[in-house]
Copies of this chain bind each other. A is one copy, B any other.
Amino acid sequence: MYTIKEAAEIMNLPASTIRYYDKQGLLPFVGRSDSGYRTFSETDIGMLRMIECLKSTGMPIKEIRQFCLWVQQGDSSLQQRCDMFRERRKAVQEQMEQLKKTAEIIEYKCWYYETALAAGTEAVHRREPEEG
């Protein structure tokens, strides 16, 4: 079992963030010591990793809470959780497509500015360079 500080180090998160997640209902599974200290098992760390994964897909905390509640409910929520991950898959695919388009524009702009820099002026991109 880990303390909140250890869990924070493993997750590379501030302890205050983990407390905030707990307060938002994301960590209903976390146990407490006799003196009221949070105790994190390996399984709990695994759930924290899943939470961070969902967060990295842009999922808001409210929806992650719903997922955590479903996990608590056991097999009766399998369908909801399955649907949720399918939706996430779609969202991530869309993010990848968006990011690819963005990457192309940024790539073009890198070329644009490298060329402009070589010429000393952005004016090279205005028209075909004239001779003479």
Chain A residues proximal to chain B, CB less than 8 Å: 50, 53, 56-57, 74-75, 78-79, 81-82, 85-86, 88-89, 92-93, 95-96, 98-100, 102-103, 105-107, 109-110, 113-114, 116-117, 120-123
Shortest C-beta distance, A126 to chain B (Å), equals 12
Pick from B88, B116, B123: contact of A106, CB under 8 Å: B88
A114 and chain B: residue at smallest CB distance: B82
Q: Which residues of B are found within 8 Å of A109, using beta-carbon distances? A: 50, 85, 88
- Within the complex, what minimum Cβ distance (angstroms) separates A56 from chain B? 5
Closest Cβ–Cβ distance, residue A74 to chain B (whole Å) = 7
Bound together, the chains give a CA A68 to CA B79 distance in angstroms of 48
Number of copies: 2
A40 to B100, CA, bound (A): 28
Task: Judge whether A89 and B114 touch: CB under 8 Å.
Answer: no
List of B residues within 8 angstroms of A74 by Cβ: 122
In the complex, A25→B59 CA distance in Å? Answer: 30
Closest to A92 in B: B103
Q: Which 3 A-B pairs have the closest CB atoms?
A: A82-B113, A85-B109, A85-B110
Contact A57 B96 (CB under 8 A): no
Contact residue among B92, B107, B113 (Cβ-Cβ distance under 8 Å from A78): B113
